[in-house]
Each structure stands twice: as structure tokens, then as C-alpha cells.
Amino acid sequence: MIRPPSDPVERPLVGAVAALSLARGMFFAVSALYFTRTVGLSAVTVGIGLTVAGAVGVVATYAGGRLSDRWGADRVQLWAMASYGIALLAYALARDVVAFVLVATWVSASRGFQSSAQSTLVARWFDGPDRVAVRARLRVVMNVMIGVGTLLAAVALAVDTGAAYRTTMVLVGVLTTLAAVPLVGLRRRVAGLGARMDASSGPAAAKGPSPLRDRTYVTATVLSGVMAIHFGVTSIGVPLWVADHTDAPTVLVSVLLVVNTVYVALFQVRASRGTHDIATAGRAVRGAGFLLLAACLLFAVAAYLGPVAATVFLLLAALASSAAETRGEAGSWGLAFELADSERAGAYQGVSQMGYALAHMLAPLVVTATAIDHGAGGWMVLGALFAVTGILTAVLARQAAVARARDQAPSQRSEYVASETPV
């Protein structure tokens, strides 16, 4: 059971994430039908437009981190959230391809700025294990509210008219804009927040060394991005696989999504414990890689079974995938926070979130090109990719932990000698 947050920064973050995630759940449920049936775009056009927008979002994610260092993460998040909501409202006015691509780009860029600013806010305000714990609690809120939003969107799906879909898109934009309300005046309400957010502000923040030169951090980001492709397995691979390649009832797709939501809500916080330690975080990601390998093999086998057996194997696969999600995300958060330069938290969190943005953009292509197009062989390749990535992440984390201990040893010896020197 998660208690209501007592921290004055976590409380508004929970409110903002709840409203934003409720809107996202509604958007996920109706957006494809809105773009194709109401706006009149082809599925290919929608795919290309969202890919272009996603590429812009990757760049915006990195820029959002740097702006958070310079202007304060709380300010950047507030304005990015408001921009995000207005951009989603603009979808209701889109009538052609050009308008759709422009609005999609605006949406993607605003989302990128918002995600980097939120991570930077957490990194600067919280310390050590609290940072990962807060991310875990926010993740639980996000998953639950996305599920609620999806259920609410069922009304529009049942009505199945252009007006219903357009009305839902307007509600999505309104809810997202309202998500900015808890963030208004945050630094005036919370003592010390402004000083934390502005610790690296000013022109000097933009002139520091780029985190893109930090090979350890960039490598960890790339590996985390590869692991994040598993979200595409849940959202794209599983529905297509269950419906077109197994004898299980199609309604099972909804059941598997519910299993994922419930599992994350129950176990995400528990899985995050201890992952503020670099080596522990690496081992968590390694465990997630092996769990994803098992899940991929179970998905593949389900295609060769009858309806009942296929259902059992798919449920087991969903449980393994959900367990991998909680462990892998917790480990990735720990590495993103602990390997970063605390003086340039925004720039580093921008790089970390850029890895997720790339995964979000590439996941549909990777999942369909492996599992969906090549069946069991594709699932095995995908599972092996996750397992190898997990192993490499654990190796990188272990080396980083050893290097940090070695770097800290001289300073600790110096402090000891200083304390023993007679005055």
C-alpha cells in the first residue's frame, strides 16, 4: 500500500502525473482511430508523421535537460506541460497531413521537454534511494491512471463516431493542460526549492562539458534505451501476436494489459529498493534481460498450442514481462541518477531521457521486424537482444562501481590523515 506522499514536491508531482496519465490512457485508446477515421489520414501517413515527430522529440528531450539546468527544472516542466496540453488540443483542429505533422511535432517536442524537466526535478530535489523510490511511486500512479483513462475512452469507442473521437481528443488536451496546475508557483510554496533548482543556473550551465562525452553514461543510456524497446512488445507486439498468430481469444489482449498494470502497481516500488547502488542497479537490469528472454520464448511457444494452453503460456509471458519491466526500470533509474554529474543534473537527465525517446521511436520497427515478421525465430532474436543487453549493463555497472570506489578512496584516506594530524 502506497501512502499519500508527505514531501511538498512529491505531492504536486503525483497530481500532475495522475492527470497527465489519465489523458494519455484516453489518447492511446482513440488516437489511431481519430487520425484515420476522423481526420482521414492513411495508417502509413500516420506512421511516417509520428516517426518524424518522434525524431524531433529526441532532440527536444536533450534540449529540455540543458534548459532545466539553466532556467530551473520546475519552470521548464510547468511551461512544457502547459505547451503539451495546448498542442494536444490542437489535434482537434487538424484537418490535413501538414497540420497533423506540425501538431504531432509540437506534441512530441513538448513531451520531450516535460520528461527531461521532471527527471531533473527529481534528481535535484531528492537524494540517494529517495530518487529511485519517488520515480517508482510516480510510475505506479502513471500505470494505474493510464488504465483508468483507457477504460473511460471505451465510451468513445462504443459510440464510434467522428464527433466522439474529436470530443475525446479535446478532453485529452484539457486534462493535460490541467496537469500543469499543481506545478504553478511550486518554488514559492516550497522553501529551498528555488535554490536547488538554480544550483547550476545561468550561462555557465550551458558551457560545461557535455554529458555526451561521458562514455560510461552514454553507454548506459544506449543500453537502457535498448531495454526500453520491451514497451513496444507490450503495446504493439502482444496485440498483433495474440490476434493474428495464436489460437487464444483476442479479448486476452485486454487481460494481458490488465495483468501488466496490476503487477506494476503492486511490485514497482518493491523492485526499486536498493537500486540506488550502481552495482545493484546493474544486476536488476541483468535480471530483467533474462526475464524478457523467458517472456519472448513463452510468447513464441504460444503460437503452436491450442486455445487453453496458449492462454496459459501468454499469461505466464505477461507475468515474466511485467516482472522484467519493474526490475529493469528500477535499475535504469538508479544508473541514470547515480552515474550522472550532480552539478549538471539537467544535461545528464536530458541524455537519459533521450535514450527513452529513441526507444519509443524505434520500438514499433524493431518489434514488428523481428517477432511479428519472423515468428518464433524473431521472438528468439528479440529475447537474446534483451538478455545480452542486460548482461552488458551489469558489466558496465560493476566497472563503474569499482571505478567510483577507487576514486573515492584517496579522498577518504586524506580525510583520515587530516583527522589524525595533531594540531
- Write the CA distances from 50 to 46, 58, 105, 360, integer angstroms: 6, 12, 8, 11
What pLDDT sits at residue 211? 83
Q: Is the pLDDT of residue 419 over 70?
A: no
Q: How is residue 15 written as a grid cell?
A: 497530481
Identify the residue with better confidence: 254 or 370.
370
Q: Is the pLDDT of residue 129 over 90?
A: no
173 plus 248 within the same structural domain: no
386 plus 318 within the same structural domain: yes
Q: How is residue 111 written as a grid cell?
A: 513531451
> Around 131, how many Cα atoms within 13 Å sit in the side-chain half-sphere?
26
> What does the alpha-carbon distance between residue 106 and residue 309 come to, in Å, rounded to a whole number?
45
What pLDDT sits at residue 208? 59
Q: Is the pLDDT of residue 417 over 50?
A: no
Per the domain annotation, does 195 fall within a domain?
A: no
Q: Is the pLDDT of residue 234 over 80?
A: yes
Per the domain annotation, does 108 fall within a domain?
A: yes
Q: In the chain, how many domains are there?
A: 2
Q: Looking at residue 99, which CATH number applies to its domain?
A: 1.20.1250.20
What is the average per-residue pLDDT within 139-160? Answer: 87
Q: Is the pLDDT of residue 204 over 80?
A: no
Q: Are 220 and 395 in contact (CB under 8 A)?
A: no
The amino acid occupying position 202 is: G
pLDDT band at 153 (very low <50, low <70, confident <90, very high): confident
219 plus 325 within the same structural domain: yes
Least confident of 172-176, 191-195, 416-420: 416-420
> Around 97, how many Cα atoms within 13 Å sit in the side-chain half-sphere?
10
Q: Are 133 and 48 in contact (CB under 8 A)?
A: no
Burial class (CB in 10 A: 0-12, 13-18, 19+), 417: exposed
148 plus 247 within the same structural domain: no
75 plus 131 within the same structural domain: yes
What pLDDT sits at residue 302? 96
Q: Which residues contact 290 (CB under 8 A, 6 or more apart)?
A: 387, 390
Q: Looking at residue 258, which CATH number applies to its domain?
A: 1.20.1250
Mean pLDDT rounded to a whole number for the chain: 88
Of the residues 131, 154, 185, which one is the last residue of a structural domain?
A: 185
What is the average per-residue pLDDT within 7-21? Answer: 93
Q: Are 290 and 390 in contact (CB under 8 A)?
A: yes
Most confident residue range from 259-263, 359-363, 378-382 = 378-382
What pLDDT sits at residue 160? 82
272 plus 181 within the same structural domain: no
> What does the alpha-carbon distance between residue 282 and residue 288 come to, in Å, rounded to a whole number?
10
pLDDT band at 423 (very low <50, low <70, confident <90, very high): very low
What pLDDT sits at residue 410? 59
What pLDDT sits at residue 396? 96
> What does the alpha-carbon distance between residue 423 and residue 416 come to, in Å, rounded to a whole number?
14
What pLDDT sits at residue 203? 56
159 plus 13 within the same structural domain: yes
What is the average per-residue pLDDT within 63-88? Answer: 92
Per the domain annotation, does 193 fall within a domain?
A: no
134 plus 30 within the same structural domain: yes
What pLDDT sits at residue 277? 93
317 plus 234 within the same structural domain: yes
Q: What is the pLDDT of residues 235-256, one digit of tens each?
A: 788 888 988 899 998 888 878 8
247 plus 305 within the same structural domain: yes
SS (H, E, C) the chain: CCCCCCCCCHHHHHHHHHHHHHHHHHHHHHHHHHHHHHCCCCHHHHHHHHHHHHHHHHHHHHHHHHHHHHHCHHHHHHHHHHHHHHHHHHHHHCCCHHHHHHHHHHHHHHHHHHHHHHHHHHHHHCCCHHHHHHHHHHHHHHHHHHHHHHHHCHHHHHHCCHHHHHHHHHHHHHHHHHCCHHHCCHHHHCCCHHHHHCCCCCHHHHHCCCHHHCHHHHHHHHHHHHHCCHHHHHHHHHHHHHHHHCCCCCCHHHHHHHHHHHHHHHHHHHHHCCCCCHHHHHHHHHHHHHHHHHHHHHHHHHCCCCHHHHHHHHHHHHHHHHHHHHHHHHHHHHHHHHCCCHHHHHHHHHHHHHHHHHHHHHHHHHHHHHHHHHHHHHHHHHHHHHHHHHHHHHHHHHHHHHHHHHHHHHHHHHHHHHHHCCC
What pLDDT sits at residue 3? 59
> What does the alpha-carbon distance between residue 196 and residue 198 come to, in Å, rounded to a whole number?
6
Burial class (CB in 10 A: 0-12, 13-18, 19+), 376: middle
Per the domain annotation, does 199 fall within a domain?
A: no
> What does the alpha-carbon distance between residue 217 and residue 402 come to, in Å, rounded to a whole number?
15
Per the domain annotation, does 282 fall within a domain?
A: yes
254 plus 125 within the same structural domain: no
Per the domain annotation, does 32 fall within a domain?
A: yes
Per the domain annotation, does 196 fall within a domain?
A: no
What is the average per-residue pLDDT within 9-25? Answer: 93
pTM here is 0.81
Q: What is the pLDDT of residues 84-101, one digit of tens each?
A: 999 999 999 988 999 999
Least confident of 9-23, 185-199, 302-316: 185-199
Give me the domain span that covers residue 144.
1-185
Q: What is the pLDDT of residues 393-411, one digit of tens each?
A: 999 999 999 988 887 765 5
Q: What is the pLDDT of residues 291-346, one digit of tens each?
A: 999 999 999 999 999 999 999 999 999 999 999 999 999 999 999 989 988 778 88
334 plus 235 within the same structural domain: yes
Per the domain annotation, does 394 fall within a domain?
A: yes
